[in-house]
Amino acid sequence: MELLASWHQSITSSWQNLTRIILLLAFAAIVGFACDWLGVPVGWLLGPLLVGIVYACIQDNPKPLPSDFIKVGKAIIGLYSASRFSPDTLMLATTHAIPVILCILGTGALSMFNGYLLWKWGGVNKLTSFLGSIPGSAATLALLSEEFGAEPITVTVLQYIRMVIVVLTIPTTVTLLFPDNVVEPIMTAESTVNDSMVSIFFNLPVLAGCCILGIILGKWLKLPTTGFLGAFLVGLLLFWNLPGLFFVPHWLWVFALILVGLSIGLRFNLQAVRKLWKPILLEIILVIVLMLSCLAIGYQFHLITKIDLVTAILGFTPGGIEAMIATANQLGGNTGMVLAIQVTRQMLILLGLYLLGLTQNRSIKQPET
């Protein structure tokens, strides 16, 4: 009887959790549709993001969506990005490698200065403030913070606040600055692929396989933004070797934005925000100043390289890579170039963290010798 009662309780709990997830996704889709219909920039992402934040505040620390949801969403966005990343884009990024690296170092230096001010004025310890201020790779930084001797909760909250501010403000700002650029989302190859038996019966299964393989590859190679870069690399092999045969349907792109937006929103922790109100208030001010500085850097990059201004600005925003790609798609920017700049920055960040880890290991081992 106890075993039956335990099974019944487990099934009831699983059913309640599944119902909660379905209702959240449905409501997020409705709000996303309303935002998109009203012309809100990247509405399919921002609508579910706001739904998640509001739900998290009402429930006060609710259960987040299973981690696989955001991995799948990011993997789909990775595949879409791969479909827009042509060899010409790669050549363009290589041609402008020096300006790209210099501008990335410039935004990195400004971010480190933000960390310094957080340490001096916000009452946050030095390592925590610096890790909390690094743009991009938020999940990786949060996971590594404890290993480096920082405060994981504070790093997570600071990273989350920066990411939400960037995602909520940059798409709107860029859309207001360039209203004539707004176009219907361009889905690569979808309009050119005929309704052949291959596209009907093999397109979605192949995309699903690429997503699964990309997530596994990203985990195996320990790539940042789990699922995104792995699926992007797998997608490059697919779209470059079989051009025009496979495509990412628009509804799948929308589904990915809903998953990512809702997952991010549900991570909002009101209790942690209340405890860290002083550094968070300072962080909001510093992030706004940082975004303005990045806009200036993007403008200078545009003047030097003659790359369109939308692409230049979105490429150097401090984080929110999925939202920046969606915005570039909506505004007709070069999504491949935006991705190339954002990924280059993430790789440099990971290299810096690796070197920091080596330095820390040496400092720990030194007294023993």
What residue has token string 């989302």? 185
- The pTM (predicted TM-score) of the whole model is 0.74
Distances (CA, A) of 257 to 75, 132, 322, 364: 11, 25, 8, 43
Which element (helix H / strand E) includes 119?
helix 97-121
pLDDT tens, position by position, 114-130? 989 998 898 888 888 88
State residue 90's pLDDT score.
Answer: 74
Indicate if the pLDDT at residue 74 is higher than 90.
Answer: no
The region of weakest confidence among 16-25, 213-222, 341-350 is 341-350
Structure tokens that stand for 252 in this block:
């799948």
SS3 238: helix
Task: Over range 133-162, report the average pLDDT.
Answer: 75
Task: Assign 32 a pLDDT band (cuts: 50, 70, 90).
Answer: very high
Nearest to 147 by CA among 137, 155, 158, 135: 155
The winner for highest mean pLDDT among 219-228, 282-291, 341-350 is: 282-291
pLDDT recorded at residue 226: 63
Could you give the CA distance from residue 29 to residue 255 in angstroms, rounded to a whole number? 8
Q: Which residue has the higher pLDDT, 56 or 225?
A: 56
What one-letter code names the amino acid at 148? F
pLDDT digits over 267-311, tens only?
888 887 788 888 889 989 999 999 999 999 999 999 999 898 889
Query: With contact defined as beta carbons under 8 Å apart, do 145 and 152 qualify?
Result: yes
Span of 2-11, 27-36, 123-132, 216-225 with lowest mean pLDDT = 2-11
**More confident of the two residues 362 and 176:** 176
The angle that helices 152-177 and 321-331 make with each other, rounded to 10 degrees, is 10
pLDDT level of residue 185 (50, 70, 90 thresholds): very low
3-state secondary structure of 331: helix
Confidence of residue 199 (pLDDT cuts 50, 70, 90): low
Out of 83-92, 310-319, 347-356, give the one with best mean pLDDT: 310-319
Give the pLDDT of residue 150.
78
pLDDT of 26 over the 50 cut: yes
**Would you say residue 152 has pLDDT above 60?**
yes
H helical segments located in 243-276: 250-266, 270-275
Res 92: pLDDT: 77
Torsion angles phi and psi, residue 345, rounded to 5:
-65, -45
Q: How far apart are CA 201 and CA 204, in angstroms?
A: 7
Q: What is the mean pLDDT of the chain?
A: 80
More confident position, 164 or 367: 164
Q: What is the pLDDT of residue 190?
A: 45
CB count within 10 Å of CB 82 equals 25
Instruction: State how far the Cα of 51 lies from the Cα of 91, in Å rounded to an integer.
Output: 40
Cα–Cα–Cα angle for 235, 325, 196, rounded to 5 degrees: 45
Question: Residue 233 has which token pair?
Answer: 């690399």
Residue 179 and residue 300 in contact, taking contact as beta carbons nearer than 8 Å: no
Phi, psi at 222, each rounded to 5°: 55, 45
Please report the pLDDT score of residue 286 as a whole number.
Answer: 92
CA separation (Å) from 244 to 247, 334, 359?
7, 19, 48
Q: What pLDDT does residue 1 have?
A: 58
CA separation for the pair 145, 134 (Å, rounded): 12
Q: Which of 271, 282, 287 is nearest to 153 (CA)?
A: 271
The answer to whether the beta carbons of residues 82 and 232 sit under 8 Å apart is yes
Residues in the chain: 369
Q: Considering the chain, what percentage of its residues have pLDDT values greater than 90? A: 20
Are the C-beta atoms of 153 and 272 separated by less than 8 Å?
Answer: yes
Token look-up 């720990």 returns 364
pLDDT confidence of residue 301: 92
Q: What is the mean pLDDT of residues 216-235?
A: 81
Statement: residue 196 has pLDDT above 60: no
Query: Quick one: how far is CA 208 from the chain centroid?
Result: 20
Q: How far is CA 119 from CA 114, 204, 207, 283, 352, in A?
A: 9, 49, 45, 11, 20
Confidence at residue 14, expressed as pLDDT on a 0 to 100 scale: 75
Query: Which among 6-15, 285-294, 359-368 has the top mean pLDDT?
Result: 285-294
The DSSP secondary-structure symbol of 208 reads H
Dihedral sign of CA atoms 338, 344, 347, 352 in order: negative
CB 125 within 8 A of CB 148: no
> Can you give the pLDDT at residue 176?
80
Give the C-alpha separation, 324 to 81, whole Å.
Answer: 11
